[in-house]
Amino acid sequence: MTHSFYKQPYLKELDVKVVRIDGNNVFFNDTIFYAEGGGQPGDIGFFNDYEIVDTKKEDGEIAHVFSSVEGLSVGSEGHLKLDWTHRYSFMKRHSAQHLLSSVFYKSFNLSTVAVHLAKEYITIELSVKDVSLDTLLSVEKEANDLVRRGLKIEQKDLKREDAEALHMRRSIKVSDDVVKVVFIEGQDRVACGGVHVRSTNEIGEISYYDYEILRGHIRTIWKIDDEAEKERRDNLFRIKDAVHLLSATEGDVIRDLKARLEELEKLRKEIRDIQNREARKEALSIDADYCVVSSEYPLDEFRTVLSKENKRKGVLIVRILEKNEFLYIGNEEHFSILKNCLSLNGGGRGGLYQGSYSMRAEDMIAKAKEVLDGFKG
């Protein structure tokens, strides 16, 4: 099989013939579909009216994964058509990854150990566990400068010894005698079998987004082209919305937001203190056994008061707002009966049992009263 996507990466359509079918995997005499590899997903598109949902490598051949092969046979001739939006977006992302990795390496001596290209972002895992924000923003700025310069990007087939003589930033991963090397004019050269754009200015905007720690390395996350522009615009509108809601200026919005959050936390603490006081009053007012008490308040104070007093038995406290929680003070045998009758989730020991219930609070209380009344005798 020949691979026209290497010779003509911008070719969107191609006439081909089916040479083999294996399940839903179809093999052609030629293809413009790139198979999954190097962190880049496989191409999608159509062969005549058949949908191709993925492309992958199988034993050195390129398998086109069809949604259905009904009616298709070896020897069938037809027209391959790429989902060009999908392909071109990943050509730009793949090229952006090369550019970013080259800046990390040339300007900061940081090597790339793994990459992943997704629809919403790309990730570059570096050989270190920490990188400063200043470094990441410097990489972003330099990469965007190189995008605007419109550097030529090309792929060449080199003899292995010639490729090794280039002393590239990354070792050659394949054992082939002929190695595909991607060059970014004056900036980078690396062995890669992917598909790329012709010039850096096709990549579009590059934006640093976030990072995470993975396998002891830092994995940086980047937005590319339309996704980078969308993120920038979304952030602008978020700031303007915050300015409007807080009646602040853009320069003071973070300070004002922090002040509001501090006020909110203070109010939450005051509410918690009030709830705890009211719950304690309710707990102290319980003077009967084998009864059901409904409460709007958290159950922690009930547990504290009733466990200290240790004189109530067969008391079920049911929280009726926010969370479907219960607390039962009584013996283990009675709790086991309650749990089965009311389909309760939870457990405990020493006369205190707690958890959650799933039925409506009104039904829970009514049924619990029936069960507890049966314990009184």
Reported as a single tens digit per residue, the pLDDT across 71-122 is: 999 999 999 999 999 999 999 999 999 999 999 999 999 999 999 999 899 9
Residues 6+ apart with CB under 8 A from 53: 44, 65, 66, 67
b/e 131-143 (16+ beta carbons within 10 angstroms → b): beeeebeebbebb
Tokens for 333, please give them.
């045998």
Nearest Cα neighbor of 83 from 122, 118, 47, 58 is 47
pLDDT tens readout for residues 219-277: 999 999 999 999 999 998 998 988 888 888 888 888 998 999 999 999 999 999 999 99
* pLDDT category of residue 59 using cuts at 50, 70 and 90: confident
Give residue 3's pLDDT.
73
Give residue 193's pLDDT.
87
Give residue 178's pLDDT.
92
Between β-strands 2-3 and 45-47, what pairing exists: parallel, antiparallel or unpaired? unpaired
Is residue 4's pLDDT more than 80? no
Which helix H or strand E contains 134, and what residues bound it? helix 133-149
Give residue 195's pLDDT.
92
Residue 221 DSSP symbol: E
Give residue 2's pLDDT.
59
pTM of the model: 0.73
pLDDT tens readout for residues 114-150: 999 998 999 999 999 999 999 999 999 999 999 999 9
Between β-strands 188-191 and 61-66, what pairing exists: parallel, antiparallel or unpaired? unpaired
Phi, psi at 244, each rounded to 5°: -65, -45
Is residue 350's pLDDT more than 90? no
Helix axis angle, 300-309 to 253-285, nearest 10°? 30
Contacts 24+ apart (CB under 8 A), 49-56: 52/26, 55/31
Is residue 192's pLDDT more than 70? yes
The sign of the CA dihedral 206, 207, 213, 218 is: positive
**What is the total residue count of the chain?**
377
Q: Provide mean pLDDT across the span 155-182.
A: 92
Distance CA 41, CA 57 (A): 11
**Burial label, 91 (beta-carbon count in 10 A; 0-12, 13-18, 19+):** buried
> By percentage, how much of the chain surpasses pLDDT 70?
98
Distance CA 282, CA 278 (A): 6
Task: State the DSSP string of 6-36.
Answer: HH-TT--EEEEEEEEEETTEEEESEE-PPPS
Helix (H, G, I), strand (E, B) or coil at 107: helix
The 3-class secondary structure across 165-219, one letter per residue, is: CCCCCCCCCCCCCEEEEEEECCCEEEECCCCCCCEHHHCCCEEEEEEEEECCEEE
Average pLDDT, the chain: 92
The sign of the CA dihedral 278, 280, 285, 290 is: positive
Give residue 1's pLDDT.
56
Q: Provide mean pLDDT across the span 155-181.
A: 92
Give residue 310's pLDDT.
56
> Interior CA angle at 155 toward 153 and 159, to 5°?
145
Phi, psi at 206, each rounded to 5°: -120, 130
Tokens for 298, please give them.
């958290």
Is residue 313's pLDDT more than 60? yes
